[in-house]
């Protein structure tokens, strides 16, 4: 029976199949509003399967979760296990409001904890629509973290809530300053975000101690080297890794 994990975010929908050893296979990134594209991947994965599949799904996007639930119901999926809040994720917690907190934050922490182990504090930097910096103690307890605006959201906000500022999509090649609007925007959006994340990381260490930092999310490859340099550790699919540990902890 195929086992599949899915991460429903605000900007993208990601699926991955588990291999025969229970590890995470290649990730497929799908559009949020194209069930035909979903169906093409689903049918390809089930073409040689004699049984229906079992799914584990994390969602921070309730409308899209409803559409995916209907899509899977039409295909008579054997079982779906939903992770809709941080409270449902099996990671030790010292946080408030876990029953309303995002499951993606807790799953990224679980994935990082299993990847890096205990014995030293860990900071998990997730770079998506929002940027989060999560604290994990040396004993493996998630203490919460910080939530900031992501690169794309910052750029879109400046574009949509002003009359004349264009939409930019800067990366590490952005200048430090600009003589005209576009490079000025690129400088502010990219390096302003880099500075914010660097400050958020630095502010954890006085009470948490020197920490391992792991990066994940769609913009991690753009931001991590700018903040930490080329040695930054980037793991693109920590939420999906966390889902594997949360929903399918035993290898076949």
> Is position 30 within any domain?
yes
Q: Same domain, yes or no, for 96 and 51?
A: no
Is 248 contained in some domain?
Answer: no
Are 74 and 98 within one domain?
no
Q: Is residue 252 part of a domain?
A: no
Q: Residue 250's pLDDT is what? A: 67
97, 184: one domain: yes
Q: How many domains does the chain have?
A: 2
Which of these three, 84, 112, 138, is where a domain ends? 84
User: Is 10 assigned a ligand-binding role in the annotation?
Assistant: yes
**Residue carrying the six token digits 């079982």:** 79
Q: Is 34 marked within a binding site?
A: no
pLDDT digits (tens, 9 = 90+) for 203-222: 998 999 889 999 999 999 99
Does 14 count as an annotated binding residue? yes
Question: Can you tell me the mean pLDDT for 29-55?
Answer: 88
Q: What is the mean pLDDT of residues 177-203?
A: 97
Please tell me whether 93 is known to bind a ligand.
Answer: no
Mean pLDDT of the chain: 94
- 62 pLDDT higher than 90: yes
Six-digit token pair at 48?
Answer: 């040689």
Residue 251 has pLDDT above 50, yes or no: no
Give the Cβ contact number of residue 62 at 10 Å. 9
246 domain-assigned? no
CA 165 to CA 160: how far, in whole Å?
A: 8
7-39 tens-digit pLDDT:
999 888 999 999 988 899 999 999 998 999 999
CB of 158 closer than 8 Å to CB of 40 = no
Active-site residue (options: 20, 104, 207, 219):
104
Residues 80 and 102 grouped into a single domain: no
| Predicted pLDDT at 49 | 61
201 with 110, same domain: the answer is yes
Q: In this model, does residue 50 exceed pLDDT 70?
A: no
| Structural contact between residues 5 and 57, judged by C-beta atoms closer than 8 angstroms | yes
Structural domain contains residue 136: yes
Burial label for 122, CB within 10 Å (0-12, 13-18, 19+), is: buried
**Under 8 Å between Cβ of 86 and 105:** yes
Do 102 and 22 belong to one domain? no
What domain range includes position 170? 86-241
Cross-strand bridge partners of residue 132: 126, 147
What CATH number is associated with residue 185? Answer: 3.30.420.40
* Residue 90 and residue 80 share a domain: no
State whether 93 and 74 are in the same domain.
no
Instruction: Indicate the pTM of the whole model.
Output: 0.93
Same domain, 134 and 178: yes
Question: Do 95 and 200 sit in the same domain of this protein?
Answer: yes
104: annotated active-site residue: yes
pLDDT digits (tens, 9 = 90+) for 226-241: 999 999 999 989 999 9
Question: Is 251 inside any structural domain?
Answer: no
The tens digit of pLDDT for each residue in 106-147 reads 999 999 999 999 999 999 999 999 999 999 999 999 999 999
pLDDT for the residue numbered 249: 84
């Amino acid at each position: 029976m195929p086992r599949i994990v899915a991460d429903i975010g605000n900007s993208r929908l990601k699926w991955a199949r588990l291999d025969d050893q229970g590890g995470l296979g290649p990730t497929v990134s799908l559009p949020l509003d194209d069930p035909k594209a979903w169906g093409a991947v689903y049918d390809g994965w089930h073409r040689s399967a004699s049984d229906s599949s079992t799914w584990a799904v994390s969602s921070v996007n309730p409308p899209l979760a409803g559409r995916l639930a209907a899509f899977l119901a039409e295909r008579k999926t054997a079982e779906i296990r939903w992770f809709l809040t941080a409270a449902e994720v099996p990671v030790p917690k010292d946080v408030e409001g876990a029953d309303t907190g995002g499951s993606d934050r807790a799953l990224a922490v679980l994935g990082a904890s299993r990847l890096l182990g205990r014995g030293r504090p860990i900071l998990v930097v997730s770079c998506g629509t929002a940027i989060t910096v999560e604290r994990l103690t040396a004993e493996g307890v998630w203490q919460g973290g910080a939530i900031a605006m992501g690169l794309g959201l910052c750029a879109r906000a400046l574009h949509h809530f002003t009359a004349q500022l264009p939409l930019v999509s800067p990366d590490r090649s952005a200048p430090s300053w600009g003589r005209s609007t576009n490079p000025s925007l690129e400088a502010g959006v990219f390096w302003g975000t880099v500075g914010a994340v660097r400050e958020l990381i630095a502010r954890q260490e006085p009470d948490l101690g020197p920490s391992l930092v792991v990066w994940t999310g769609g913009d991690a490859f753009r931001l991590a080297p700018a903040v930490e340099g080329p040695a930054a550790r980037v793991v693109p699919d920590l939420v999906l890794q966390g889902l594997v540990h949360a929903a399918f902890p035993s290898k076949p």
